[in-house]
Amino acid sequence: MIRTEASDEERQDDINQCLERSFVSELTRVDTPAFVYLDAVLEANLDEYLSFLTPLGVDLLYSAKPCTLDFVVRACARRTAGIDVSSPGEAQLVREILGGTVPLHFTSPGLSARNWDVVADVADYVNVNSLSMLEWLHANESGPRPRLGLRVNTGHSVAADTRYDPARPGSKLGVPPVLFEEWVSEVSDSFISGLHFHIGCESSTYGATVASLTWLMQVAAPLLAGLEYVNIGGGWLRPSGMDDLDDFCATIGKLRACGVQSIFTEPGTGLIRDAGLLVTRVTDVIDSGVGMVAVVDSHVGHAPETFEYDWAPDLYAPGNEVIAEGGYEYEVVGCTPLAGDIFGRYRFPRPLEIGQPFFFHLLGAYAFARAAPFTGVLLPSLYRITQAGELVAVKDPEFSWYRDLWRTNAIDQA
Ligand SMILES: Cc1ncc(COP(=O)(O)O)c(C=O)c1O
């Protein structure tokens, strides 16, 4: 059973037990590397977000960019007020997966005169990233179109690492605070139905969201009174782990009192991150002369953030569970020639053996989304554990994925 409102540690215990029941006994028929997604975790996360947001009158959207797998998008669409997408391609794919009725919200700095028609065709809401793009739409767009919102950089940051911080000074994401204040004090026909901000990244506090809304209510009260919606973005984790909940609830009440009809939020990571794991097997154990190294049949190209941000994912090793101290230490590495292809250092009670399965936790978001078949190691296969606990293979890796990437129509010159 997957508990809602559990701590991260309790959640990982629940997931490990579920893997033990539904996956470990099936390992002989599983191809690794693989991603496995647990339906029950996604549903528990949806329950948790909805039971917090629904009484507040805040509508939940799923931001599809961390994981756009069709069964995930469909599961989220069934229980949310819509899907947030971030490129014309993602918008077209999600529309194709869901058909015509589920509202699509499009938010991207990549919106341009060249792709506007494609976006306008499939999206119901478009959050424009800049005043120049808004002016272009004002001047060029007259036909039926999606509702338009303006993305604002409120300047209230939560991410400590500036590489992750959409609200940093100089950010490309949204109209900067000073320019927004000037614009809002001068504009007579704003041409927009909504405002949007997204300032978070794996945030567990509402402090910056409260500060952002308070600032908006100070500088844009007359505009807010006529708006159909405000979208407060995503980037925040499960409600049970959030700080400043009371302030947040009070501030949402004040925003509604300003006259805004709908308030949206669009987390992605918080809904899907712990629902997905990367499954690998140890294929070789090497004595490097200064320590032991375990090679697995995956690589950091299957989980790029572990490499880019120097982050060792939590690891579940059935039958030889990771310990904090003592035991046998290994550097767990990927199978490519990249020297930096390292998942992390882990300790185990017993020496590792070839074939030992590893489950890397918290890789449901942005891992498969950004995975690459570096050096011809194919993308991982995909499995799903249904609510009933059944392990289902949903996609096999194909050599053609890799071939299509590199083969071209080029004709060599003599
Ligand atoms: C506009 C917007 N909304 C929502 C999200 C989802 O953020 P997260 O996956 O951190 O919840 C992102 C992520 O980049 C985003 O850019």
**CA atoms of 231 and 406, how far apart (whole Å):** 40
The domain made up of 8-38+274-405 has a fold known as: Lyase, Ornithine Decarboxylase; Chain A, domain 1 (2.40.37)
**For residue 271, which atom of ligand 1 is closest to its CA?**
11
* CB 266 near ligand 1, within 6 Å: yes
42, 59, 86, 130, best to mutate for ligand 1 pocket (most atoms within 8 Å of CB): 86
Instruction: Give the number of other Cβ atoms within 10 Å of residue 96's Cβ.
Output: 10
* CB 177 near ligand 1, within 6 Å: no
Res. 2: pLDDT tops 90? yes
What is the CA(233)–ligand 1 centre distance, in A? 7
* CB 235 near ligand 1, within 6 Å: yes
**For residue 166, which atom of ligand 1 is closest to its CA?**
16
| pLDDT over 90 percentage in the chain | 93
Tell me the torsion sign for CA atoms 280, 300, 284, 373: positive
Q: Domain coordinates of the chain in residue numbers? A: 8-38+274-405, 40-271
- Of 81-95, 153-167, 346-360, the one with minimum mean pLDDT is 153-167
**CA atoms of 234 and 198, how far apart (whole Å):** 6
**For residue 201, which atom of ligand 1 is closest to its CA?**
10
Atom 8, ligand 1: which residue's CA is nearest?
A: 235
Residue 85's pLDDT is what? 98
**CA atoms of 226 and 244, how far apart (whole Å):** 28
Report yes or no: 45 and 270 within 8 Å, Cβ to Cβ. yes
* CB 63 near ligand 1, within 6 Å: yes
61, 62, 63, 362, best to mutate for ligand 1 pocket (most atoms within 8 Å of CB): 63
Contacts of residues 163-171 at CB distance under 8 Å and 24 or more positions apart, as own/partner, are 163/309, 164/201, 164/202, 165/201, 166/198, 166/199, 166/200, 166/201, 166/235, 167/197, 167/199, 167/208
Report yes or no: 275 and 49 within 8 Å, Cβ to Cβ. no
Q: Report pLDDT digits (tens) over 285-323.
A: 999 999 999 999 999 999 999 998 889 999 999 999 999
Q: Report pLDDT digits (tens) over 129-176.
A: 999 999 999 998 776 689 999 999 999 999 888 988 999 999 999 999
* CB 269 near ligand 1, within 6 Å: yes
- 40-271 architecture in CATH? Alpha-Beta Barrel (3.20)
Residue 414's pLDDT is what? 77
